[in-house]
Structure 1
């Protein structure tokens, strides 16, 4: 294995059976199942005139029960995880560039924001989109493949009204840049991501790096934010589960309005597990609404006065319960950070408005890396696509393709070959004193934050790939 294989994208696991308002995995039986291996005389299957995408993979995931990461991570306590070899069995058959694309699973929220005339309502919807962007991590315990330098991924979803291009623009540090645009010209969504990770014995903590920018053209508005921190528990022993925590500030640079979201840490008794609470304030710093929910379930908005009244009643009714819990001895487990018992679903405050609800997953999700319907189709190679995609596209990576097909030995061999090819190319550039040149993005300044950012230079969808590097 390559000792330069980054672990930065391994913060992907959590464990939760929660769902919104009683919706559970039992409802998955209603999902449409389509085996991507089935073809209709070579044509893409259609359903009611809409392209039908697969909802399962060619092969189920490989068992990780016989593997331990302790021998790999035991020397890394308290250090940044920048160069760590991980067995391929801990991967999922997607590149991190494809994983970034899952931000767009709930694109309808952006389209809704474009149609809203009130700026506070738009901010509510944008906030719901920011929360929904991390929801796909629910129960995802595999790490994506680290993108090779120069690797790309494109996705056009006419049914959802967007197209996206991403590129791995840096190897050390690992930076992935993406650019998404509405097919109707309504919005542009872009950013560059560089997560910084540390290992703390039982858990891996990720500090988010990189700015995310959303531009709504009709309203001449620009929003920016960063992702919350996250922590994966039990990377050595026990069942993997994840917390998202920290403060996320979404700023409307056109109106001066701000949304402050607090992704709450689990807490002693697990009461705050997955909870998100926050508020929206106008440019005069007046609180206009409160937002609450769980990033694994749903998000709601309510008037601040109704929220405070509800909180007072809630505190009054739980005082005795809290006293009882304080008297009970706390269970201690030195071997694993056990995830708290599943708490009740979100208690809806009277007068609240639903902003977003997580989608059900396909029936075979548990056997398919816990992928969502959206994720299940990301690596699908449809007939005729090879002649259209850039030669650097993730779908053409032989190691990911082999893993998706269930051939782990071939996947390991191909991964090692690709990494060796990348090292050889880097040595050759150093020998010739050549600098790596990105193809579709360039380093610049974010016009709204003034910070350094990777910006799309355009031209990808013209299909002119002459200068694409040979990385596979």
Structure 2
């Protein structure tokens, strides 16, 4: 891994924006992963590079490995799971679909990650990140559907964090992302659903986080909250915040005390003149517990269906994660974060060792980044046609089918379910016998 910090670019070669009006190319319920999209809807990154954005706050996993208690470790793993979603906010461009066999590597001072497109139908992206403190791996099979006014993104696939020092593992599946008003009106997005993180090999804790719906008044936009519980379902920690900003933790008793105080203030006729505002807030904020149909329908928060007020700050809390502000020029460059700005950068000396299938070498992405939209469109068509021809050639030959170079299907030792597992060898820099996909 890279041993020294270095400066990365904070802008792209040319400004750009992504189109979002899809009515001219889509039909209701269409799976966007199965159609060819015009390049005007893209941002200049491959989906593999978007997967690598998981690692922007990798320091949280390092912090998790330093914690001395299972609860402390679970807190920071949960913060990492939430932080991975922060870069989605206002990112309206669709990343380029990876070509079969495409790879992407990212090496920083505190981690390295390798991603590979291991399947085309269905599209599956596998990844494996490691460092001195943790291992993070999994696969994502994204499904995007258009529903007239909105686009739903379903990031299917299980991800796993391993903390070798503690012989612990954590698994979860990311929640859905909904992009609203894609045809008319003000665009906005929300992450929606329940995120359940399971701990293996330690105290067998569980973190259940509810990503709230904005509701009719938008008061719960971006809000996430939930509890860390033990195997007996006792609440150990209350987690709360916004997936766009930060995640905090406190003792559940502090949460309950805060809620009780707000309720008393709202009901007391002797309260300050502002008590009507507090009462109005209680009536307007519909929080409650999220009960996913695919889980046990158990109210993890123990509210028994009762509406409770939302609190933004609880005295005695600690901040587990706080997002980095986006650069001032973000709106001119596809709403990229500072981290995203660097993902397609060709770093000094990289060309000598970079795998020939790396996303940075894709000419369509590079041309769009340079502001050449027509050139990007032409290259995108060329690459897609080349991929189709390669598939036909393999189909007519009697030899073995194409197989991924760095990953293969196996059994996840923690979930006991089928998973794409890294086979090692990528960082040896032996890139012989690779298909020319670009």
Give the TM-score normalised by structure 1.
0.81
Which residue in 1 is equivalent to 2:417? 451
Which residue in 1 is equivalent to 2:157? 210
Residues 302-311 or 290-299, more deviating? 302-311
- 1:87-107 superposed Cα distances (whole Å, 9 cap, x missing partner): 211111110000011100001
How far is the alpha carbon of 1:123 from its aligned partner? 0.5
> Structure 2: how far apart are the matches of 1:173 and 1:116?
39
How far is the alpha carbon of 1:230 from its aligned partner? 1.3
Closer, same or farther: CA 377–175 of 1 in aligned 2, 3 Å = same
Which residue in 1 is equivalent to 2:372? 407
Which residue in 2 is equivalent to 1:370? 335
Which residue in 2 is equivalent to 1:14? none
Which residue in 2 is equivalent to 1:141? 92
Work out whether residues 194 and 208 of structure 2, in 8 Å CA contact, stay in contact via their aligned partners in 1: yes
Long gaps (5+) in structure 2: 267-276, 286-309
Which residue in 2 is equivalent to 1:225? 172
Work out whether residues 62 and 406 of structure 1, in 8 Å CA contact, stay in contact via their aligned partners in 2: no
Which residue in 2 is equivalent to 1:168? 117
Which residue in 1 is equivalent to 2:218? 270
Which residue in 1 is equivalent to 2:73? 122
Which residue in 1 is equivalent to 2:391? 426
How far is the alpha carbon of 1:450 from its aligned partner? 1.2
How far is the alpha carbon of 1:201 from its aligned partner? 1.1
Closer, same or farther: CA 315–323 of 1 in aligned 2, 3 Å = closer
Work out whether residues 72 and 84 of structure 1, in 8 Å CA contact, stay in contact via their aligned partners in 2: no
Q: Do structure 1's residue 360 and structure 2's residue 325 form an aligned pair?
A: yes
Residues 406-415 or 202-211, more deviating? 202-211
Which residue in 1 is equivalent to 2:406? 440
Which residue in 1 is equivalent to 2:269? none
Closer, same or farther: CA 179–383 of 1 in aligned 2, 3 Å = same
Residues 430-439 or 397-406, more deviating? 430-439
> Structure 1: how far apart are the matches of 2:177 and 2:45?
20
Work out whether residues 294 and 346 of structure 1, in 8 Å CA contact, stay in contact via their aligned partners in 2: no
Give the TM-score normalised by structure 2.
0.87
How far is the alpha carbon of 1:175 from its aligned partner? 0.3
- Secondary structure, counterpart of 1:214 in structure 2: strand
> Structure 1: how far apart are the matches of 2:363 and 2:263?
56
Which residue in 2 is equivalent to 1:23? none
Q: Do structure 1's residue 98 and structure 2's residue 49 form an aligned pair?
A: yes
> Structure 2: how far apart are the matches of 1:63 and 1:121?
41
Quote the RMSD (CA, aligned, Å).
Answer: 1.8
Q: Do structure 1's residue 200 and structure 2's residue 165 form an aligned pair?
A: no
How far is the alpha carbon of 1:265 from its aligned partner? 1.0
Closer, same or farther: CA 117–63 of 1 in aligned 2, 3 Å = closer
Work out whether residues 169 and 177 of structure 1, in 8 Å CA contact, stay in contact via their aligned partners in 2: yes
Which residue in 2 is equivalent to 1:334? none
- Secondary structure, counterpart of 1:197 in structure 2: strand
Long gaps (5+) in structure 1: 1-48, 327-344
How far is the alpha carbon of 1:294 from its aligned partner? 0.3
Which residue in 2 is equivalent to 1:41? none
How far is the alpha carbon of 1:240 from its aligned partner? 2.3
Which residue in 2 is equivalent to 1:289? 237
Work out whether residues 80 and 199 of structure 1, in 8 Å CA contact, stay in contact via their aligned partners in 2: yes
